[in-house]
Amino acid sequence: MKIGIDISALGEPNYTGVGVYVENLVKNLAKIDNENEYTLCYRLSRLKYGWPKIAVSQENFRLKIIQEPFNFLFGRELDIFHGPAERLPSYSHPKKIVTIHDMAVVKGEGFWTDDFREMTINRYKELLSGAVDSVITVSKNSKNDIVEHFQIDPLLIDVVYEGVDSSFVPSHGEIVEKTKKRHGINGNYILNVGALQERKNVVRIAQAFKRYREKGGDCSLVFCGKQAYGYERIKSEIDSLGLERLIIEVGHVPHEELVALYSGAMMFCFPSLFEGFGLPLLEAFACGCPVISSNVTSLPEVAGDAAYMVDPYSVEDITNGMLFFSEEGNRNYYRGKGIERAKEFSWEKTAKGVLEVYKKLSA
């Protein structure tokens, strides 16, 4: 097979989410497949960010800069085109696969601007009304959402779970302490990783943290992630709690520091309102960090019984999770369960699953 994969998401500065998916998918396809020919397609418009941050040396992989709209003659060179970031060419050849990561834009009013939401929903409608031959999504919950909202045949959708990189392992001592010092973190802390936006439930996390402190909790709260839509309102609500010296925003951090922050945290608080998968949950598990997770959307599916589950709309429930992990015995028990749960997910498994979808479509 001749397979094209759009890797343009790797051009985004400090990419997370889809970019992490694309990077790990390509790297692991290169490990397991030396038979098929791959063209890694990078859109011309992304060159303003520089070359894609990925190095694949296998002879059956090549990088190609493609124009927008996609060149018709280029499409005829391929058997399959995979759009991992929900973008596809308009021509009929080759067969087309799209990865849809979640339905958050469809179901989550208020999480984005109205214009962005309308644009994204229209793109989904176009993709799922016949432009695509196969859909990959990352959880059973996301598959159910796609079927419900777009009445697509469930047989066209394959669920292939995401993975966790092998570099996410518990780190200790000097590395953790240096990272804490760099970001002004003293003593114990509760960690949250993700964009600072309403969907990530950061205001309720801060409110629960205040109650936790009032009940005797002795630590700080660390938010690790970039500022996103609605940040100004969120920041105002958090500031009104009067905990400025106890709530720390570290922004986007390099990979090594992220591993250290997970490893050094007293607990990881992730009561997100909507996730298509919930990769930070797995990363925390793999680093041996006890996890508080919300009991909605895909998170119960990913967490299994390895996290303390809470109602994300209940500040009291989130507070109780924090109090639960104040006990060292509870932390140790869930730390072990999380490490074992993370072993069930890997990017190599993801690549194998995606490769099976390619083979099925080409049969």
Report pLDDT digits (tens) over 12-31. Answer: 777 888 999 999 999 999 99
Over range 267-282, report the average pLDDT.
97
Q: Has residue 115 been placed in a domain?
A: yes
Same structural domain, 60 and 152: yes
pLDDT 10s digits, 55-94 = 788 999 999 888 765 555 566 789 999 999 877 876 667 8
Whether residues 53 and 180 share a domain: the answer is no
Counting beta carbons within 10 angstroms of the beta carbon of residue 295, is it exposed (0 to 12), middle (13 to 18) or buried (19 or more)?
middle
State which residues form the domain around 132. Answer: 2-163+347-362
Residue 168 lies in a domain: no
Q: Is there a single domain that holds both residue 32 and residue 79? A: yes
Task: Please give the structure tokens belonging to residue 214.
Answer: 């009032």
Predicted confidence at residue 54, as pLDDT, reads: 84
Is residue 104 a part of any domain in this protein? yes
Q: Computed over its alpha carbons, how large is the radius of gyration of the chain?
A: 21
Indicate the burial class of 193 (C-beta count within 10 angstroms; 0-12, 13-18, 19 or more): buried
Average pLDDT over residues 313-329: 98
**How many domains does the chain divide into?**
2
One domain, residues 10 and 51: yes
pLDDT for position 146: 95
Q: What is the mean pLDDT of residues 331-355?
A: 98
d(CA 140, CA 282): 17
Tell me if 169 is assigned to some domain.
no
- Position 126 pLDDT exceeds 80: yes
- Predicted confidence (pLDDT) at residue 117 exceeds the cutoff of 70: yes
Query: Terminal CA-to-CA distance of the chain, rounded, Å?
Result: 10
Average pLDDT over the chain, rounded to an integer: 92
Mean pLDDT, residues 106-112? 78
The verdict on 94 and 153 lying in the same domain is yes
Shared-domain flag, residues 240 and 306: yes
Instruction: Return the pLDDT at 90.
Output: 67
- Whether 279 is in a domain gets the answer yes
Q: What is the mean pLDDT of residues 306-326?
A: 98
The CATH number covering residue 56 comes to 3.40.50.2000
| Secondary structure of the chain in HEC code, one letter for each residue | CEEEEECHHHHCCCCCCHHHHHHHHHHHHHHHCCCCEEEEEEEHHHHHHCCCCCCCCCCCEEEEEECCCCCHHHHCCCCEEEECCCCCCCCCCCEEEEEECCCHHHHCCCCCCHHHHHHHHHHHHHHHHHHCCEEEECCHHHHHHHHHHHCCCHHHEEECCCCCCCCCCCCCCHHHHHHHHHCCCCCCEEEEECCECHHHCHHHHHHHHHHHHHCCCCCEEEEECCECCCHHHHHHHHHCCCCCCCEEECCCCCHHHHHHHHHHCCEEEECCCCCCCCHHHHHHHHCCCCEEEECCCCHHHHHCCCCEEECCCCHHHHHHHHHHCCCHHHHHHHHHHHHHHHCCCCHHHHHHHHHHHHHHHHC
Q: Does 199 lie in the same domain as 124? A: no
| This prediction's pTM | 0.93
Clarify whether residues 108 and 187 are in a common domain: no
- Regarding whether 156 and 13 lie in a shared domain, the answer is yes
Task: Examine the domain organization and report whether 146 and 253 are in the same domain.
Answer: no
Whether 284 and 336 map to the same domain: the answer is yes
Count CA within 13 A, CB hemisphere, residue 254.
5
Encoded tokens for 360: 């099925």
| Whether residues 296 and 263 fall in one domain | yes
Is the pLDDT confidence value at 182 over 90?
A: yes
Residue with the larger pLDDT of the pair 184 and 50: 184
